[in-house]
Amino acid sequence: MQPLSNALSSARALLVALVWLAVGLPGVASVALAQDASPATAPAKATATAKAELQARRSWSFEEEGGAVRIDNEFSGARVNACERLGALDYKIVTSPENTPINPSPWYAFRVTSAVERDITVRIVVVASKARPRPRISIDGGPFERVASKDYEGGEGAKECVLRMRVGPKPTLVASNHMIGIAEIEAWTDATTATLGVHPREIGRSAADRAIRAFEFGAPDAREAIIVIGRQHPPEVAGTVGLFRFIEALAADTETARGFRARFRVLCVPLVNPDGVHEGQWRSTLGAIDANRDWGPFTQAETRVVRDAILAFVREPARTPRLLLDFHATSKDILYVPPDDAPLEPPHFASRWIAAISARFPDYAVEQNAENNLKEWTFKRWAFETFRAPGITYELGSAAPHDRIARIVPGAAEEAMKILLAEPAPGAAGAAARESPATATP
């Protein structure tokens, strides 16, 4: 899609102006609003203290001729709310959301073992939503491969899907997508920070007392910063892969990345919602709240922890955020951006970035949408209202092949670095006029 910067119709400009009036102009007033959670915007206490409905962790053992078939959800990231035997080698598993209404992004993950090798049928029932495309299977710790279409009936739109699979004594994991959970994100964090020679640190604890970790790299005394967070929504694995490739590009031994790290400091929080990921939740925190609608009320431990870490990061030493990115996954690659005419620094960053990505990858279509969720308490909105810097939701297609993410996202990261490096540095000649008033950090 073409960037919108030159295509603003007067009708759209009016709409944007109305939206800005509705959400309030960015600046000091909205900073106070975002942090203080005025009574007008804070949700009712009952909502704030609600709990997501947890699945029972257990194993179901079904006697069959030749030996038992066992199905369980006793591992991190699993989700099975019910399981039963319908007939010989024919089972049903049910996944239901932690709270409703909820986004139609159901998650399930379970493990099957069988005393002997044989074919079984598993019916996957998705409560209160529709099923997603074909699941993935990992045998005995191997890679998650998508189930062949001949072995699967149902798919998008179906409430019940029928999966035929071969099982045996080695554990077989079935999940609605790749499983990249707490352990994998921690392993990646440890490897990446080791390469950089920095240490991840715990910035706080989730509602269920799991560590929320962050790390920093780049020039320690840099006055400019970018902030990257991910996995507010548990099933959005492709967003995590995008975050990995983005950060690796910033950390790479390339001329652009070295120059970038000499001038900018990076803060990364790769896993905002560890409880949701552990429980295989469809969307929410353990408090049954969509974390990416909580950047204003701040009812959840997770959003408060990450907010406070970001505010501390920009305060000491005083740093100006130039870009705040939040990685997610949805049906396609799309960036949710601030209105192009919003008074942010750097100006028109999103349009310039998308134009650069499109020019670099002519065969790749990435969309942008500046109207999405402007009235919701998203991280993106909190970011651009608090810092007058581009806050962007970077969505990767849920089913995007990981090798495509590995091709596109590092290129996108490099284009972002180039744009930011071309901006006048604080204190440089001509920079004063461009300095954001929000430099005086909240």
Distance between CA atoms of 239 and 220, rounded to whole angstroms? Answer: 27
- Under 8 Å CB-to-CB from 188, ≥6 apart: which residues? 244, 270
Confirm or reject binding of residue 79 to Zn ion (CB under 5 A): no
Question: 212 or 272, CB closer to Zn ion?
Answer: 272
Three-state SS at 330 = strand
Question: 178 or 328, CB closer to Zn ion?
Answer: 328
Given the rule CB under 5 A, which of 54-62, 129-137, 230-238, 246-254 is the region that contacts Zn ion? 230-238
Distance between CA atoms of 107 and 96, rounded to whole angstroms? Answer: 9
Given the rule CB under 5 A, which of 111-119, 186-194, 231-239, 373-381 is the region that contacts Zn ion? 231-239
Distance in Å, CB of 273 to Zn ion, minimum: 10
Question: 307 or 380, CB closer to Zn ion?
Answer: 380
Distance in Å, CB of 328 to Zn ion, minimum: 3
Question: Which amino acid is residue 153, in one-letter code?
Answer: E
Q: How many residues bind Zn ion (CB under 5 A)?
A: 3
Residue ranges in 366-425 that form contacts with Zn ion under rule CB under 5 A: none
DSSP 79: B
Distance between CA atoms of 406 and 403, rounded to whole angstroms? Answer: 5
Distance in Å, CB of 283 to Zn ion, minimum: 8
Question: 225 or 366, CB closer to Zn ion?
Answer: 366
Nearest 5 degrees, angle CA 21-CA 25-CA 27?
A: 170
Distance in Å, CB of 366 to Zn ion, minimum: 17
Distance in Å, CB of 292 to Zn ion, minimum: 6
- Name the residue among 130, 83, 76 with its Cα closest to residue 103: 130
Question: 307 or 328, CB closer to Zn ion?
Answer: 328
For Zn ion, the nearest residue by Cβ is: 328
Question: 91 or 295, CB closer to Zn ion?
Answer: 295
**Cα diameter, the chain:** 81
Given the rule CB under 5 A, which of 48-56, 111-119, 226-234, 348-356 is the region that contacts Zn ion? 226-234
Given the rule CB under 5 A, which of 55-63, 225-233, 339-347, 351-359 is the region that contacts Zn ion? 225-233
Binding mask 233-272 for Zn ion (x = CB under 5 A): x--x------------------------------------
Distance in Å, CB of 431 to Zn ion, minimum: 35
Look at the block and give the residue holding tokens 């049906």: 331
Question: 240 or 320, CB closer to Zn ion?
Answer: 240
Residue ranges in 141-180 that form contacts with Zn ion under rule CB under 5 A: none
Question: 233 or 319, CB closer to Zn ion?
Answer: 233
Distance in Å, CB of 396 to Zn ion, minimum: 10
The tally of CA atoms less than 13 A away on the side-chain side of residue 203 is 28
Q: Rounded to the nearest 10 degrees, what angle do helices 182-196 and 237-251 cross at?
A: 0
Distance between CA atoms of 320 and 439, rounded to whole angstroms? Answer: 5
Question: 213 or 293, CB closer to Zn ion?
Answer: 293
Given the rule CB under 5 A, which of 164-172, 200-208, 228-236, 414-422 is the region that contacts Zn ion? 228-236
Backbone φ and ψ for 170, nearest 5 degrees, come out as: -75, 140
Question: Which amino acid is residue 180, in one-letter code?
Answer: I
Question: 93 or 396, CB closer to Zn ion?
Answer: 396
Residue ranges in 290-329 that form contacts with Zn ion under rule CB under 5 A: 328
Sequence-ordered strand ranges (E) for 82-159: 82-87, 90-95, 109-114, 118-126, 136-139, 145-146, 152-153
Look at the block and give the residue holding tokens 């929080």: 269
Residue ranges in 323-362 that form contacts with Zn ion under rule CB under 5 A: 328
Distance in Å, CB of 58 to Zn ion, minimum: 29
Q: Where are the alpha helices (DSSP H) in 316-401?
A: 349-360, 379-387
Sequence-ordered strand ranges (E) for 191-333: 201-205, 211-218, 224-230, 264-269, 320-330
Distance in Å, CB of 279 to Zn ion, minimum: 16
- Name the residue among 221, 207, 308, 306 with its Cα closest to residue 265: 221
Three-state SS at 7 = coil
Distance in Å, CB of 41 to Zn ion, minimum: 21
Look at the block and give the residue holding tokens 């548990």: 234
User: Residues interacting with Zn ion, by CB under 5 A?
Assistant: 233, 236, 328
